[in-house]
């Protein structure tokens, strides 16, 4: 080995052991050589262990962390318990991506079986109306809503899109009947997106972070997540719609309408700054005037007039970020720049339709 190659191997072998390396970092790692290492295989054993028999995974789990024998036994006992499986915070979709990456370097049939089970789980979890709840089996509470929050449903549809298209995004191919199921599931999901796009005074706008699974209307989640139009979640929904090959008239209308809305409600002349409160390492966030700042969009806007609002955990609406407490000001993303990706790609997308 050259010195450079040797150094690379050392750094890769320490990849998941670094305290700062998270499960998300590992998922996003595109270095194929790392996925061929013993360390990656050891983590794959954890991924298989965490998967429930139903096919899904729990969320917020640092799967790469070494497990004691006691922890392994506990996970084996949990295998048959379907509760806690979710698509929230990237769960299940992230594990499928990991399995695909490691299968490419190590074509272990167990990885393929787990991947296929995971895809079937996603399809099974879908409502008849095409939406997805946050948890499946259903968990009572706001979790039953059709969940666009944190791009949960978009993440699932992106998986199904690659599976139905038999693309080379995933290294694992699935049987033909599952490809067909993925195609049907994807179509139902897009139909749900079109049906939930909110009409404001008769004009199509965008989406709420979650919609009622029966009425399809914008719905409330946590106390500070009220029915609203979302500047954040709506962006990834539109990017998904723009990725559809040969889009229908309905999809084209949905995209055009959402882009018009993004243009209409963008906020110019402000930026968000993190400042010190003067108490130890405590931070706060403030809105600062800045004529040269790029546009921002509010996370939540009133359904009737697009007015941005903010909330503490008491669920009382305020109309400036300064009016809510420091805990929620710093603990939640009240502004976003995500729609800029939509606006950047829109002209090319429109030209591609001709």
> What's the confidence (pLDDT) of residue 13?
44
Q: Are residues 156 and 299 in the same domain?
A: no
Q: Are residues 206 and 73 in the same domain?
A: no
- pTM equals 0.92
Give the domain range for residue 257.
197-354
> What's the confidence (pLDDT) of residue 19?
52
For residue 41, being part of any structural domain is answered with: yes
For residue 335, being part of any structural domain is answered with: yes
Our CA angle for 123, 126, 127, nearest 5°, is 150
Total tally of structural domains belonging to the chain: 2
Alpha carbon 193 to its chain centroid, in Å, reads: 15
Q: What is the DSSP letter of 64?
A: T
The CATH number linked to 59 is: 1.50.10.20
Task: Encode burial over 145-174: b for 16+ CB neighbours within 10 A, e otherwise.
Answer: bbbbbbbbbbbbbbbbbbbbeeeeebbbeb
> What's the confidence (pLDDT) of residue 168?
94
Taking phi first (over 0 means left), then psi (-120 to 50 degrees means alpha), and beta for anything else, what does residue 235 get?
alpha
Which stretches of the chain drop beneath a pLDDT of 70? 1-19
Catalytic residues: 89, 222
CA–CA gap between residue 221 and residue 313 (Å, rounded): 12
């Amino acid at each position: 080995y050259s010195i450079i190659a040797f150094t690379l191997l050392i750094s890769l072998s320490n990849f998941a052991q670094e305290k700062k390396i998270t499960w998300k970092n590992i998922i996003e790692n595109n270095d194929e050589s790392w996925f061929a290492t013993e360390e990656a295989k050891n983590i794959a054993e954890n991924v298989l262990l965490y998967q429930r028999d139903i096919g899904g995974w729990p969320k917020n789990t640092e799967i790469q962390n070494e497990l004691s024998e006691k922890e392994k036994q506990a996970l084996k006992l949990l295998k048959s318990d379907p509760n806690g499986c979710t698509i929230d915070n990237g769960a299940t979709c992230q594990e499928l991506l990991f399995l695909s990456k490691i299968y490419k370097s190590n074509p272990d049939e167990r990885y393929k079986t787990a991947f296929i089970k995971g895809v079937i789980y996603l399809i099974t979890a879908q409502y008849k109306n095409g939406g997805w709840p946050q948890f499946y089996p259903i968990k009572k509470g706001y979790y039953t809503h059709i969940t666009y929050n944190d791009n949960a449903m978009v993440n699932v549809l992106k998986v199904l899109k690659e599976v139905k298209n038999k693309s080379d995004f995933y290294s694992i191919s699935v049987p033909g009947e599952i490809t067909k199921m993925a195609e049907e599931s994807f179509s139902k999901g897009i139909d749900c997106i079109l049906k939930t796009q909110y009409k404001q005074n008769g004009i199509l706008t965008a989406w709420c972070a979650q919609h009622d699974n029966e009425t399809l209307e914008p719905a409330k989640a946590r106390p500070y997540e009220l029915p609203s139009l979302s500047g954040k979640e709506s962006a990834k929904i539109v990017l998904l719609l723009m990725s559809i090959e040969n889009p229908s008239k309905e999809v084209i209308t949905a995209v055009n309408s959402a882009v018009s809305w993004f243009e209409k409600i963008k906020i110019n002349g402000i930026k968000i700054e993190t400042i010190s409160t003067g108490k130890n390492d405590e931070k706060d966030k403030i809105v600062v005037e800045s004529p040269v700042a790029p546009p921002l969009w509010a996370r939540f806007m009133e359904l009737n007039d697009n007015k941005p609002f903010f909330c503490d955990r008491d669920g009382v609406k305020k109309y400036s970020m300064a009016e809510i407490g420091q805990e929620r000001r710093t603990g939640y993303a009240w502004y976003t720049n995500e729609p800029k990706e939509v606006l950047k790609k829109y002209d090319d997308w429109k030209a591609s339709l001709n």
